[in-house]
Amino acid sequence: MDSIHQIQKIGSYLHVDEQGFIINPTSIHTIQPEWLPIVEKVKEAYMQHFGVNLHSVYIRGSVAKGQAIENISDVDSFAVITLPYEKIDTSWSDAFEEKLISEYPFVKGIEMGCIPLEEIQDHKGDQIMIKTQSVCIYGESLANTIPPMKPGTDTAQHVKYIQIEIIKTKQWLEGEHTEEEIKRKCTWIMKRMLRSGFELVMERSQKYTRDLYLCYEGFSEYYPEKKEAMYRVLELAVNPTSDKSEIGIVLEGIGSWMTEEVERSWRN
């Protein structure tokens, strides 16, 4: 039986400087000692599989900020590769992730991804991730080549796509999947909805965060009538279900409302 994780009122908004630009809070020096061996093995795996085609490796999220929590936090990583997408082989990553989790059972998950160097300049989401919430652990950081950013349209990366992601998730749920696959999809879409909800109010709040509880809290400040519905999204992000109908109720409820609200307010 899966353990139930209590929702914790944790997280932080990224600080801004005197001009309102976001300050990246991550550093190799803030990574907690017990997480360093995992980070090192992730880096070594990228180096082993990509060799001279590896430009740089990054850690983001709670681990990079020194705020990782055992049995809750993932190790989120990505590498920048000097190859086009079609030539990047990631077939090895699933087995590697499973092996690492078995060695370090306090890690909830390992996320590994690859981004072609040539595509970063045209992809705002990758630029936001590198500039505001990632630490480079190998190679030359691209953060210095990306202009500073402020909370608002500069840093909105989920809300633009939430409509199509909700539609695709509904379609995906119509197929046959294992319980674990459904739970992973549940976690993924609920996190997207939480962060999209916060991005709806980010310009008004002049704050930036990816932390789930703060996304819920910040959203609820401006949409108090949707507070209860968004709390359910938070619950399912932290404790996902394999019940398709339960996920569907949320997607049809606040998910449909969010789709309409994005069209009404964010795109105008």
pLDDT of residue 14: 87
pLDDT of residue 159: 87
Cβ atoms of 258 and 197 closer than 8 Å: yes
Q: What's the average model confidence in pLDDT over 102-107?
A: 92
| Averaged pLDDT score across all residues of the chain | 92
Give 133-178 pLDDT, tens digit per residue.
899 999 999 999 999 999 988 888 888 889 999 999 999 999 999 9
**Pairing assessment for the beta strands 109-111 and 114-116 based on DSSP bridges:** unpaired
CB count, 10 Å around CB of 87?
10
Give 12-42 pLDDT, tens digit per residue.
888 889 998 999 999 999 999 999 999 999 9
- Could you tell me the end-to-end alpha-carbon distance of the chain, in angstroms, rounded to an integer? 46
pLDDT of residue 101: 92
pLDDT of residue 1: 46
* Domain 33-145 CATH class label: alpha beta
Q: Where are the domains of the chain?
A: 33-145, 153-266
